[in-house]
Amino acid sequence: MRTTYRFLATGDEVDAALDWFLRQPDPPEVTEKPYGHLLYFRGMGPLAQMPDGSGIDARRSPLVSLFRPSRRRGVLWTTGEAHFLPTSLRRGWPALHALGLRFRKWLSGFDLVFAGNPSSPGEWNHYLEGSIRNHEEPVYALPLAAQALREGKYFVGWSDNDSVLNTLCRSLRHRGVECILDDKYRTTDPGLSNA
């Protein structure tokens, strides 16, 4: 099972997690992806191939998928996520496991905004929407994101799809928050704005 760390970042801090990884003693090779970055830690081992030769087996390779926070619908920010992809991380990849623990320690230096218990009341739950509170991992907010929460800004899970966002935008409209839809999200739904 992979290990995941989640965080909130906005503005100039959206690449703070990538910068943290790049400052490590044995920095990764970085490949840009539509979601953010794929980090390969060559010093920790080779890339394993799938048994049928169809590609790289991420479960047996020292890889981290880093999902970059982004703005959605003009008023929502997504979580940032770091997925340590190998299975049996602690036993099979001790150096990568140790790196993950250091990353978690770095994140824990920021404000804890969700403790990882979906049923527990939290100061920021009102602003953590979509799937954010459906996971067991804690969520930390970097300084600009913590300020955005204090200003009443909303955050959603990185993987929340258009249907989730449409439902949320209809709900936010009742709270006086207007989502902005670009051409990709044109809609005839009267609860959503095509501004």
pLDDT level of residue 179 (50, 70, 90 thresholds): very high
Q: What is the pLDDT of residues 17-54, one digit of tens each?
A: 999 999 999 999 999 999 999 999 999 999 999 999 89
**What is the number of domains present in the chain?**
1
Q: State the CB neighbour count (10 A cutoff) for residue 42.
A: 12
169 domain-assigned: no
15 domain-assigned: yes
Q: Is pLDDT of 194 > 90?
A: no
H-run or E-run covering 102: helix 94-107
184 domain-assigned: no
* pLDDT score, position 50: 93
pLDDT level of residue 92 (50, 70, 90 thresholds): very high
- 3 state DSSP class of 35: coil
pLDDT level of residue 191 (50, 70, 90 thresholds): very low
16 domain-assigned: yes
79 domain-assigned: yes
Q: Is pLDDT of 188 > 90?
A: no
187 domain-assigned: no
Least confident segment among 96-105, 141-150, 175-184: 175-184
50 domain-assigned: yes
pLDDT level of residue 1 (50, 70, 90 thresholds): low
Q: Which of 32, 35, 12, 15 is nearest to 23 (CA)?
A: 15
Cα separations (Å) of 160 from 52, 81, 168, 190?
32, 13, 10, 21
Cα separations (Å) of 185 from 15, 77, 91, 173?
26, 16, 45, 16
Q: What is the pLDDT of residues 139-164, one digit of tens each?
A: 999 999 999 999 999 999 999 999 99
Q: What is the pLDDT of residues 70-85, one digit of tens each?
A: 999 999 999 999 999 9
* pLDDT score, position 166: 92
The predicted model scores a pTM of: 0.88
**Which residues form the domain of 8?**
3-160
* pLDDT score, position 118: 67
